[in-house]
Structure 1
């Protein structure tokens, strides 16, 4: 992705100054929402290693196969956050992610839970579902 391109997370900032710094390890995710946005961007960019690294070991899959995933991610809307700040150890982020597969539009509505593990935010799990848009 071009460093001048807007970040896929929808922040309105350039990727290089937003999720790019979290993906590269130059800046840790300070909040659960920042981690969730960086994970969405990682799905867009198919950064499997980053996604696995930021997934809690108790719920993390052995592997991801995003290279053959037909989803084309279209946008992210954060609906709400609960806790998950710099001083918290847990947090929740509710979001809607829109995507397209073979010309058909879908949306993923999820309430995600995050925890601090060894000082870093990680994705624990989420509830929600996918439906046609």
Structure 2
């Protein structure tokens, strides 16, 4: 069994880098939001998007549902068996208006059968009255 301390030290799946150009550790990056959503919400839309990517990698449906805006939240999330997440690239992030932001990203995956694909999306986020950011929806880009 992997201890929480060793998990916290592993590189974060989102690939965010620190000042030294190295990937941040899970506990210093998305892990603090995914593991402690009630006490430590993501401070901005990009951080929320990165933490949601990491939650998909770690199959944390609880976090994904908690950070999905209630107006668009599905009843449940089913993870595709055998998917390997190969990386995330954030292409840009914008504040559309106060309390509304967008993040453009590309993620790469490989299915159980070996087929690789990428998702290029421009996602929309809103900030609630309590200061928390929520994923609303996104447009698939080509």
Q: Which runs of 5+ in 1 are unaligned?
A: none
**CA–CA separation in structure 2 for the residues paired with 1:46 and 1:69:** 10
- After superposition, give the CA deviation of every residue in 1:39-72 in whole Å (9 maximum; x if it has no partner): 0000000000100000001111001122x53321
Higher strand fraction: Structure 1 or Structure 2?
Answer: 1
Query: Secondary structure of 1:99's partner?
Result: strand
Quick check: which has more Rg, 1 or 2? 2
Cα distance, 1:88 vs structure 2: 3.7
Matched, 1:13 2:18: no
TM-score normalised by the chain length of structure 1? 0.88
Say how many residue pairs are matched. 127
Does the CA contact (< 8 Å) of 2:122 and 2:141 recur in 1? no
Cα distance, 1:129 vs structure 2: 5.5
**CA–CA separation in structure 1 for the residues paired with 2:90 and 2:81:** 23
Partner of 2:120: 109
Partner of 2:54: 41
Matched, 1:78 2:90: yes
- After TM superposition, which residue ranges in structure 1, 4 or more long, deviate above 6 angstroms? none
Query: Secondary structure of 1:3's partner?
Result: helix
Partner of 1:120: 132
The CA RMSD over aligned residues, in Å, is: 1.8
